[in-house]
Chain A
Amino acid sequence: MKARARAITLLAALLGLASPWFGIPGWTLSVATVAAFTALALIGLNLVFGVLGMLAFGQAAFVALPGYVAGMLELLGAPTLAAMLAGVVVTVVVAAVVARIFVQLPGTYFAVGTLGFSFVIEGLARAFPEWTGGASGLVFASGRDIGPMAWYALATSALALGLLAWHFTVRTARDRRFRTVRHDELAAAVVGIDVARVKVGMFTLASGFCAVAGIGLAYYVGVLVPEGAGVNRSLEYVGTLLLGGAGSMLGPIVGAALVQWLFVVAGYGKQFELLLYGAAFLGAVLYARHGLVGLAAPLWRRAVSDRTGHGERADGFGRRAPELGDPALADARLQGLPAARGAAGGSGEALSVVDVSKNFGGVQALRSVSFSVRYGEIFALVGPNGAGKSTLFNVISGVEPPSAGQVLLDGERIDGLPIHRRAPRIGRAFQVARLVPGLSVLDNVVTRLDQIAPDMPEAARRGAALRQLRQFGLEGLAADDVAVLAAGQHKLIDLARAAVGSPRLVLLDEPAVGLTAAELDHLRRLLLELRDSGCAVVVVEHNIAFVSSVADRGVVLDGGALIAAGDFSSIIREPRVLEAYFGVLS
């Protein structure tokens, strides 16, 4: 089983290593060396672009910067190795700072911001010729003495280490986290992931790969020019990665080798080079989302699967088919969670909303709304369209800060906390389930536990998630990719994710929308079970019939203000409520 895959992998690696001696025209030792270093830089790009989906359009800057730093230090008399090390360190520090600034930018601005950074580094390299060699380039003399074989060995070893580091970085639990961030930042924050920190960390780490590769390239090629930091080079890297396969382990190697080789071979094709490159880039974006590696994946699967049919899933992350956990393992551990203690008590005031107001420009979406929710009850938030329910929900879960007022949980103010820090105590399900396709149902649920119970071993986390799924009657789906399931199932899975790890408060946004009658019954049972476990449940719901059948108490909002509060079955009969509802509906 695995031995076969390992043998084939090892063989492919050896063949790749020996390829410069096969006599392939244009694929010489020096081209292969440059390709190996480039692949290492692309692994870095792959971490931010492929794994987290950040549009890093300025990565060439982090490839050129270490070389410039090292070269300038050498001119000042620093020994070569110290200069190299300093180059890498400075680059990583700069990247950490840049990441902290840029990570606040939404996708588009992040793309253009990094592009701009690339322009700035290129421009600076050009503007100070007395230090950087200007447009003539900074010439490195010291690297040429170790000989082509040694360089090749160095480049391929660095690449091998880079692959190992990649493997370590995207291993199981982190892979789940990264996929969630990549797919949906809000969902990621709601399950407790500090999105900004993940992005900053990844960007900084990625720059380390680029920096090591950049040092290698600078000393091996022997000259560094401003264009090497520039926008065109950065975009070239993105194109190369896309061609090889963004997000996959081998994408950088396949892309770098192919493009470097094509540069040599097609370099003689003169003006068609750019055309082919553009067509390949666009083709990859449109039709081969996982590049050449993605196209080759079915072949690979066939090659490694032996007669028993157990193959490793070659989705590029090297993840195996999901293993189900053992619920028994989880039981003891989960009791130790901080969130669980309050829920176990199941009495007293859970959530208090005190005089909360929210303005958007001139529009007042909420006008000093106050109410409180107790443990062990289902609390409904109803009101006509535009009443401010969603805004209120967003304020409680942390998506929007209130303009005035306080939100307290267990008597402790939470309105200043970022979303991900509320996650251990607050579970939230969405109107349209925000699950991560490509991950199994179990993995989607485990993602929340990864964050709120990081000390639990992986197997125990899986066990706890499985127990939650069993409770929800979803155990049979645990191993399925959520992408193949129906919308109704998505909603229940989303709910299971919100409820896993015993949060004190569960927020549900229109849970009944889109469910069949049978699913509604199921949902009702689940909500009651959740309540009986001592949890406080807040539901925003339009389906008054459904919500009447579960809610204990509730409030009615209209025009951003509370118009009724109390026992749910009585408040919805109040004339003001009927008027607000039917006045709008008629």
Chain B
Amino acid sequence: MTPHRVMFWQIGNVWIFYVLAGLATGLFLAGVVAYVSVWKKSSRSLEIPFSKEALKRMILDTFLGRRVLQGDVAAGLMHLLIFWGFLSLFIGTSLLAIHHYIFTFLEGTAHLIFSFGLEVGGLMLLAGVIWALIRRYLQRVPRLERRLEDAVVPLWLLLAALSGFILEGLRLAVERSPWGGWSFVGWCLSGFFSPAGAEGLYPYLWWGHALLCLGFIAVIPYTKLFHILGAPAGIYLQGASKPIVLGMEEGAGEFDLGDAIFFDGCMRCGRCVEACPSVGAGEPFAPRDFVQALRQALWQEHFPLGDIRFMSPKEESKVDENFWYCTTCRACLEICPVYGAAFEVVTKKRVLAVEEGTMVPKLLNQTLEKLFKYNNPWESSKRKRGAWADGLELIDLTKRGAEADLCYFVGCTTSFDDTAQMIARSFSKVLQTAGVNFGILGKKEPCCGDIARRVGELGLFEEQRKGSEELFDKYGITEVATSSPHCFHTFKNEYPEAPFRARHYTQVLRELMAEGKLRFKKGVEATVTYHDPCYLGRHNRIFDEPREIIRAIPGINLIEMTHYQADSLCCGGGGGRMWQDLQGEVKMSEVRIREAEATGAEILITACPLCLIMLEDARKAAGLKEPFRVMDLNELVLQAL
């Protein structure tokens, strides 16, 4: 007799099973339809762009669990065990159905391999689910929530897997087939049962197991299990459609399909909560809670029955008013398994708030007024914009006949703030030493629009963008170097028709070094550490250039903080936070300065005027004294020339 499987062994009234299966599928589909209807109503367009890249990324991320593994190997392995365990059982069951209804192929060796495979799959699922329960309830990993569904879902899977194995044991206890050993788990269990008892117990347990499994399929859309569909869809869409600039047209603050699916694909894994600097400073904002609140609001608005996901608390809607806390540092996107850009959703909410007007915090309201009136957020006179350059004899590119190879775009903060002016002066001197023919825009230098863009004042941003483009065009400027990573980011990524190339000063310095124009004649004997500005590092992936410059200085010993590069912590100045009066239990900059101090370095180097101001203030507030200093990279470079 060839090895085979008896279908519906000992089961009568098989039609009931088909009715239940139909019911489960119906519930599942009804749930999916509910999702699609909400997406349809909440998004401007249901258009799904095709992208080979995004498709490839979706497949690799889904099947290899790359994004879940990243940064948390334990969670990643646990997820892989559940994922592959569940998937192999699902595929196995599907194969069995094909074998039973379409054509017979699971016989002989194929059946043995099949049996063995399912045993492994079941064991993986069991191990994964138990591990998940341990992580959440015994190890109590801080980022994990413990809602009702967080217990129900894994326990459901656990029961389904266990009952499956026991069922197999019961069957094998009766069958005692010579190939039973291939189903090794069931085979071992079969030793515990007497054939007669097993035969009697089997149908009851079979129906229980069937109900668990069919029920499981039915509840997928009504629990966090929906991420089985939502996460891959989210991963695809986040990769396929990325608007560079939020347009000024109607509906700029509305959600698109990618956002809605991101909210529904969110598993509440809490990685963003762990990474978010606002959470770290004890502020009342957390990307996960924000996203969940938005999700609920969306369902409340667009689905007649509200949030269909049961076991999710209903009082979340207040949470989403705290979006002014977000510094748009991008840390949440860096680690989100579904590439959810919560900070971009924050910007959309801000667009709506700015349009509405009454919810704009007082200080920000004033800052925006100033930004419009004086084209800078620092309320200083436009006339004083070039004052930092007094005595440096720089070319003013707006003067008749003035020409230069490079336009140094100083930026509002670097122009007006006493601490940050150091950046402009030292960078100019470095350029002069390197023999670069460069000029500045003096009094006529505009604001790049970063602040307006980040806080959601898109109308102002558009005006500033047009103004800047016209100005650069008028003076024939094609090469721009900025002090601030914020101006750099805005020019590079949010000026779609920019008639010039923008670079951050670290890129310029690195190039001068490569060309041999920047030679470090003097050394600086110091141990230093480097703080990655969010808009230089995470947003624009410039991690190496500043480090290469630092390392090239003789005598310097560069050491890293606990959080560095893509994992760096925000200083708290981005996203418009510099001009707002929001506070948590501690300041983000203080968290960062303590981390810098803990390395034992004497100098904390950074490459952004906002970071410089925030960190220098934090140093003073924390009472950290000489020799510990905060310094801009230019200052260090200048010392070494």
Partners in one complex: no
Q: Could you tell me which A residues sit within 8 Å of B by CB distance?
A: none
